[in-house]
Amino acid sequence: MDAVRESHSFDPMFPFVFFYHLKGNPEQEPHLYHFHDWYEIVFVLDGQGTFFIDKEFYPMKKNDLFLIPGNVIHHANPSKRNPFLCTVVLFHPALIQSMELGDFFSFLSPFSQKEFHYLLIAEHMKEHEEILIRMHTELLKKEIGYRHALLAHLQGILLLIARQQPAIPETSRKLSKSEIWMKEVLFYIDLHFSDHELTLPALAEQALVSPEHFSRIFKRVTGLTLPAYLGVKRLFKAKELLLQTDSSVSFISDACGYKSVSYFHSRFKEQLGCTPGEFRKKNKQSDPAD
């Protein structure tokens, strides 16, 4: 299993995807590790599960809200006894254009708090559900102007979230032994993911377990294989260095732990559809600060 950038069917003129009443399936084998450049809003309507976001494990329960900006690794694991039911809104930030109206508000401000997990009171969740039902209806009927309606509803949701200022829930759930162990592993990987010698056997040896056991626990807890996770971490760091430094592509390849420049090129193009050089040129030219 490899980690690939998640993609959905959408019109490039309207980068928006909507999953209404998505039911978690504990029997479904994860086929990819979930990451994308888009922003994601997850409303948990019922049931339970665990949301792995970045390096943390969050409990999922009714009235939970998750706000996930682009380029953050995440994966939802449903409870076997009571799988979660949620509605998910995905959109590219370019879709949200905040006009300068003099009150210094941005529709994307809820994503800038460096928190992922929030708790809505029942009344506020009901307000959102009413909007989500209207969005679902617009997508079913597709009457004239339905995209404008969807955008207006999306802006309404983001405005509501900003005004409601949902609480950050206290985590009363205790992590399992596997999750506690895996958090330590993930923090270690965060510090050493650029190391060429960071391999499954090396990590397993350090953890005093067999590679087979390490691999099995890692996949069960996080939803992906170790090579897939390392691949995404290295890709994110490479993108950051390409945009924020003038370092050469070969230097960035080595700094991010890729085996060779040619391998870096092929993996980068496979994931993002362009070479590292093309990515740097395109995004630096489009940077409004330039």
Asked if pLDDT for residue 233 goes beyond 80, the answer is yes
Tell me which of 74-88, 144-158, 246-260, 274-288 is least confident: 274-288
The tokens describing 268, both together, are 């980068």
Domain coverage including residue 216: 177-285
Last residue of a domain, one of 130, 164, 198: 164
Is 190 a domain residue? yes
Q: Could you tell me if 157 and 67 are in contact, meaning their C-beta atoms sit under 8 angstroms apart?
A: no
The pLDDT of 249-272, averaged and rounded, is: 90
Amino acid 11 reads D
The pLDDT of 159-177, averaged and rounded, is: 84
Segment 146-154 long-range contacts (CB within 8 Å, at least 24 positions apart):
147/14, 147/16, 150/14, 150/16, 150/18, 151/16, 151/95, 154/16, 154/89, 154/91, 154/95, 154/96
Same domain, 74 and 107: yes
3-state helix, strand, coil in the chain (%, to 5): 45, 15, 40
What CATH number should be reported for the domain holding residue 277?
1.10.10.60
Average pLDDT of the residues of the chain: 86
- pLDDT for the residue numbered 118: 96
Same domain, 220 and 280: yes
Same domain, 199 and 133: no
The pLDDT of 202-216, averaged and rounded, is: 89
Is 56 a domain residue? yes
Same domain, 71 and 40: yes
Is 3 a domain residue? no
- pLDDT for the residue numbered 290: 39
Is 170 a domain residue? no
The pLDDT of 64-84, averaged and rounded, is: 90
Contacts of 285 (CB under 8 A, 6+ apart): none
Whole-number Å distance between alpha carbons of 142 and 155: 19
Is the CA virtual torsion 35, 41, 44, 45 positive or negative? negative
Asked if pLDDT for residue 272 goes beyond 90, the answer is no
- pLDDT for the residue numbered 121: 96
What CATH number should be reported for the domain holding residue 95?
2.60.120.280
Same domain, 213 and 95: no
pLDDT (tens digit per residue) in 10-37: 677 899 999 999 998 876 654 434 556 7
Same domain, 124 and 182: no
- pLDDT for the residue numbered 9: 57
- Length of the chain (residues): 290
Same domain, 80 and 24: yes
Same domain, 102 and 235: no
The pLDDT of 240-268, averaged and rounded, is: 91
Is 119 a domain residue? yes
Is 108 a domain residue? yes
pLDDT (tens digit per residue) in 97-128: 766 666 778 899 999 878 999 999 999 999 99
Same domain, 133 and 39: yes
Same domain, 38 and 160: yes
Last residue of a domain, one of 101, 135, 164: 164
Same domain, 211 and 123: no
- pLDDT for the residue numbered 285: 55
- pLDDT for the residue numbered 1: 40
Is 10 a domain residue? no
The tokens describing 288, both together, are 């409004």
Same domain, 143 and 225: no
- pLDDT for the residue numbered 28: 65
Is 6 a domain residue? no
Q: Could you tell me if 111 and 69 are in contact, meaning their C-beta atoms sit under 8 angstroms apart?
A: yes
Last residue of a domain, one of 164, 187, 212: 164
Structural domains counted in the chain: 2
